[in-house]
């Protein structure tokens, strides 16, 4: 499946319809979205399976599950011990609630964030433009990212969750229901290598935080196979199955304009997706940066007009 290019919100929405048709999304089917910014160097895999946490692995070396299991056990233990006074209660280690809390606070887990809101995903793809303020093509060499981390642009991925779950012979989207036969296969046991589940599954989480509500958060919950969703999608297509994943590319030169469209006209901002004081602070910092660059552009234009 080809990856179309979006240069504006309108072209992005057009491509959403095209790719939904290619994925075979029916009127009753869900579609999930994930934005990947330009700075991302990882494929669609959860934090626990990203190589940045395993520097001893060589390029191309198969990913061993054992160190990931040991890391997950360590992180869970530390989080349970140290979060209790902050939460005012104890979180049990053998529940998915623990993974959701860890994920929401930046700890690497077997969860990968998605959203049911396509504009929220687009915002996360271009969000770095608000942090920089300066259009990317005008950046000085001193502020460029290292060569190995640079991408030609950002991307938004579309996921058909029921098609992903069919890899594990699960007919519907998994939820926090212990009566669901497949639920126990994904529960975070003390040692992750004992998980029965191999492939990831689409999962509807309990909405534990206001941020999850406004972001319309959903997740893929991964088993003991560290393969990226791109790799699993390619295998599915090679075996004659319909793809469950599609991509819309956003070129580098369009990132700043799309960011301005989202924040200036569509009302999708830091504060709308992070409705707390930190989100408000980041939004005001972004506003300050853009005001500075707008003033500089105005001064440069006036200077050129007087020449």
- The model's pLDDT over 35-87, given as tens digits with 9 standing for 90+, comes to 999 878 789 999 999 888 888 877 767 776 778 888 888 898 899 999 988 88
pTM of the shown model: 0.84
As a whole number of angstroms, the distance between CA 157 and CA 159 comes to 7
Of 148, 142, 203, 147, whose CA–CA distance to 176 is shortest?
A: 203
Contact between 268 and 119 (Cβ < 8 Å):
yes
Question: How would you write 190-252 as a 3-class SS string?
Answer: CCHHHCCCCCCEEEECCCCCHHHHHCCEEEEECCCCCCCHHHHHHHHHHCCCCCCEEEEEEEH
Question: In whole angstroms, how far apart are CA 81 and each of 74, 91, 95, 189, 281?
Answer: 11, 9, 15, 17, 30
**With 70 as the cut, is the pLDDT of residue 187 above it?**
no
Q: 255 pLDDT band (50/70/90 cuts)? A: very high
Residue 140 has pLDDT above 50, yes or no: no
The mean per-residue pLDDT over the stretch 142-146 comes to 39
What average pLDDT does the segment 280-296 reach?
77
């Amino acid at each position: 499946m080809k990856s179309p290019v979006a240069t504006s919100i309108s072209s992005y929405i057009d491509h959403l319809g095209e790719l939904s048709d290619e994925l075979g999304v029916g009127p009753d089917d869900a579609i999930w979205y994930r934005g990947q910014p330009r700075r991302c160097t990882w494929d669609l895999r959860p934090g626990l399976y990203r190589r940045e946490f395993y520097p001893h692995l060589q390029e191309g070396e198969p990913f061993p599950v054992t160190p990931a299991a040991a890391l997950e056990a360590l992180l869970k233990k530390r989080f349970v011990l140290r979060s209790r006074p902050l939460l005012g209660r104890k979180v049990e280690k053998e529940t998915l609630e623990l993974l959701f809390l860890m994920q929401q606070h930046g700890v690497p887990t077997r969860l990968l964030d998605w959203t049911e809101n396509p504009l929220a995903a687009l915002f996360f793809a271009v969000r770095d433009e608000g942090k920089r303020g300066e259009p990317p093509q005008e950046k000085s060499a001193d502020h460029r990212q290292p060569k190995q981390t640079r991408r030609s642009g950002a991307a938004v991925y579309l996921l058909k969750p029921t098609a992903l779950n069919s890899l594990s012979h699960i007919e519907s989207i998994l939820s926090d229901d212990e009566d669901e036969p497949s639920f126990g296969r994904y529960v975070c046991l003390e040692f992750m290598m004992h998980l029965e589940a191999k492939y990831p599954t689409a999962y509807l989480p309990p909405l534990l935080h206001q941020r999850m509500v406004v972001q319309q958060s959903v997740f893929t919950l991964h088993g003991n196979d560290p393969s990226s969703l791109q790799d699993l999608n390619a295998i599915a297509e090679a075996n004659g199955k319909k793809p469950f994943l599609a991509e819309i590319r956003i070129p580098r030169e369009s990132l700043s304009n799309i960011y301005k469209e989202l924040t200036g006209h569509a009302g999708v901002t830091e504060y709308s997706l992070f409705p707390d004081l930190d989100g408000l602070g980041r939004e005001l910092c972004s506003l300050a940066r853009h005001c500075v660059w707008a003033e500089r552009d105005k001064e440069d234009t006036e200077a050129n007009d007087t020449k």
